[in-house]
Structure 1
Amino acid sequence: MRAPDELALVNLDSGAVTGRVPLPGVVRHLQLAGPGGPVLVPDESANAFLRVALPGGRIESRVTTGASPHDATQASPDTVFVADEAGGSLTVVRGDQVVRTFTDVTQPGGLAAAAGRVGAIDVRENTLSIYDPATLTPLAELPAGAGPTHLVADRNGRLLVADTRGDRLLVFDPAGTPRRLADLPLPGSPYGLGYDATRDRLWVTLTATNEVVGFDTSGPQPREVARIPTVRQPNTVAADPSTGRIVVTGTAEGVLQLIDP
């Protein structure tokens, strides 16, 4: 949330706000380090990466990053990758220490980890870069459509990419020699991605049509199984793996939409 900058803790059963955590600056994207947290918080205007404990909301740590950290992902049990969008870098954090800074990206956006590797979208170069978090080395750079923005990992070890300007959903295998597996048309400016590992279900928001689309990802290629109207400007979606309920942010009005698909 902005004005004031804070992290709102929401009960997904009732939709009630159970707590608010003041933040040092503006945040756009969040990930969980694991099912019980902590929350990985890239604070863009503070140039910092924070860990916020659940359920209480205590800030456990703060690490200085590059300029405008946009996204952060748990790459391994002790390693977090942070995408510094305005800094043209990836900051690698172990514990509370920066152990490596990659500068082979121009404008990093979304991050996700799969198959023991990390994928990073470069929104200016339109590429997907793959890294080894154990050895802290770059492994590959692949074309990723006409305008990729975000990605998530599925339980099958794949990376699923929203090609926002290209109106497509892309699927990559980061293991071995990284490669593209699928390229599906998805008109409507796909942007936000959420994954339900229990049901092997991918949810994609379409910001041009105010919809969220569900895909069965259990097979070799995602298959559309649901299409639901949303609030305006649905920039982000997340799934509760215990119930299947999805949460969509309505950025235009500053609201959350709870959906039982």
Structure 2
Amino acid sequence: MRRLTAVSWIALPLAGALVLSGCSSAKDNSDELQIVANPQAARPAVSPAVSVNPAGQVLPGGAVSALAVDAKTSTLVVALSEPPSLRLYDLNALASAPVNMPLYGKAEKLTVTPGRVEIAEPAQGVVQQLSLPDRKLTETKTGGQPASSIAYGADRLVAMGPAKDIQVLPAAGPARTIGGQLYSADDVVDTGTGVVVLDRLRTAVFSLDVAAGKVNEGLRAGDGAANAVADSYGRVLVTDARAGALIAFSASPLIMRQRYPVPGAPYGIAYDAKRSLAWVTLTERNEVVGFDVRGGEPVEKYRFPTVRQPDSVGVDESSGRVLVGSAAGEGTQVIQP
């Protein structure tokens, strides 16, 4: 595995941050973001058997496909693969029995707006919305394979995966679609200063102009962009599962600001805005690492052993607790740093 050096903090075109503008296709040999002939989306490394007891408390359960925390209601929302369902925990009373809610299909991504959780179910062509604390589910039939959904003002933005576009769903009126340049629209992140789309096939990020209905410039995001989250500084933090790195991009303008080596196949990522901590799971090592991202480069503050196959991670900002989900069916871990 190629090891990245920690010195390339300022974004330079020659430091792996290749810029793309205009239209191109997978067959266009001039496409500087195309690094292999047949791109494949980055996947989590297959984790070894657990050799160290996971830190903290482990809540029993099935294979976790996604998890999220609603700080407003102190609710931990865990999506289970089989049967497709949600398991809701009261973070103030973890000893109490969780509430189980069936879903149409496997949830690939959970995204929280205070009091509401967006649930992307690509196999069913549906995005569901869970309101809290009343625990009501509503649905939006998007068609296709929705990969991620976020609230954006009164609208919602849905990344449509292999459809290569973003659906803009207004509170009232017809939906519209924004496409161009993308090979796969796998996640959409609102930093507060700009919106960024993650394209796993192209291992790149793109700036999205929602008002103009346009996908703007793109930058390479390492060798295997996996997951992304916004921080408190107008940036998008991206895990590079193949090269082993944590990459930070400013959103407006789109510039690579940091590229930091993180060995161990970093995959899941969550952000604690109260403490400026990015929590990253290492699927090759069954670990989760907490980085302080306030300075010129990430500083490791915490490292804990996890459950096997820690593909999902979330954080409870009120207490600082870190939640890690096992995709291998070995439970949901609760760690108090």
Q: Which residue of 2 aligns with 1:145?
A: 222
- Where does residue 206 of structure 1 map in the other structure? 282
* Residue 20 (str. 1) matches residue 100 (str. 2): yes
Q: Per-residue deviation at 1:160? A: 0.4
In 2, distance between residues paired with 1:225 and 1:20? Answer: 35
TM-score with structure 2 length normalisation?
A: 0.72
Give the counterpart of 1:157 among 234, 238, 246.
234
Count residues in correspondence: 256
**Equivalent-residue separation in structure 2 for 1:101 and 1:134 (angstroms):** 10
Mapped pair 1:46 → 2:118: no
In the TM superposition, what is the alpha-carbon distance from 1:254 to its structure 2 partner? Answer: 4.6
- 1:182-193 aligned at under 5 Å gives the runs 182-193=258-269
Is residue 236 of structure 1 aligned with residue 312 of structure 2?
Answer: yes
- Give, in whole Å, the separation in 2 of the partners of 1:167 and 1:17: 38
Distance change (3 Å), C-alpha of 1:147 and 1:98: same
Matches of 1:240 and 1:100, distance apart in 2: 34
Q: Which structure 1 residue ranges, 5 or more long, are not aligned?
A: none
Measured after TM superposition, the shift of residue 52 of structure 1 is 0.9
Does the 8 Å contact 1:173/1:180 carry over to 2?
yes
Q: Which segments of 5 or more consecutive residues in structure 2 lack a partner in the other structure?
A: 1-79
Aligned to 2:166: 90
Out of 201, 208, 212, the residue aligned to residue 135 of structure 1 is 212
200-209 or 92-101: which moved more?
Answer: 92-101
Tell me by how many angstroms 1:82 deviates: 1.6
The equivalent of 2:135 in structure 1 is 57
What is the root-mean-square deviation in Å for CA atoms of aligned residues? Answer: 1.7
Where 2:123 maps in the other structure, the secondary structure is coil
- Assess if the C-alpha contact under 8 Å between 1:19 and 1:57 holds in 2: no
Instruction: Please say which structure displays the higher CA radius of gyration.
Output: 2
2:203 is the counterpart of 1:126 = yes
Given the alignment of the two structures, is residue 112 of structure 1 paired with residue 189 of structure 2, yes or no? yes
Percent identity over the alignment is: 31
In 2, Cα distance between the equivalents of 1:47 and 1:103? Answer: 21
Residue 17 (structure 1) shift: 4.5
Structure showing greater relative contact order (alpha-carbon pairs closer than 8 Å, 6 or more residues apart): 2
Structure 1 residues 103, 138: CA separation in 2 closer, same or farther (over 3 Å shift)? closer
Report the equivalent of 1:256.
332
| 3-state SS, counterpart of residue 14 of structure 1 | coil
Alignment partners' CA distance in 2, 1:19 and 1:132: 39
Question: Are the aligned partners of 1:8 and 1:17 in contact in 2 as well (CA < 8 Å)?
Answer: no
Partner SS, residue 320 of structure 2: coil
Instruction: Compare the two structures and name the one with the higher strand fraction.
Output: 1
Q: Give 1:99 deviation, angstroms.
A: 2.4
> Aligned pair in 2 of structure 1 residues 168, 66: CA closer, same or farther (>3 Å)?
farther
The one-character-per-residue Cα deviations of 1:31-57 (angstroms, maximum 9, x if unpaired) are 102xx3210111111111121101232
Corresponding residue number in structure 2 for 1:6:
85
Give TM-score, length-normalised by structure 1: 0.92
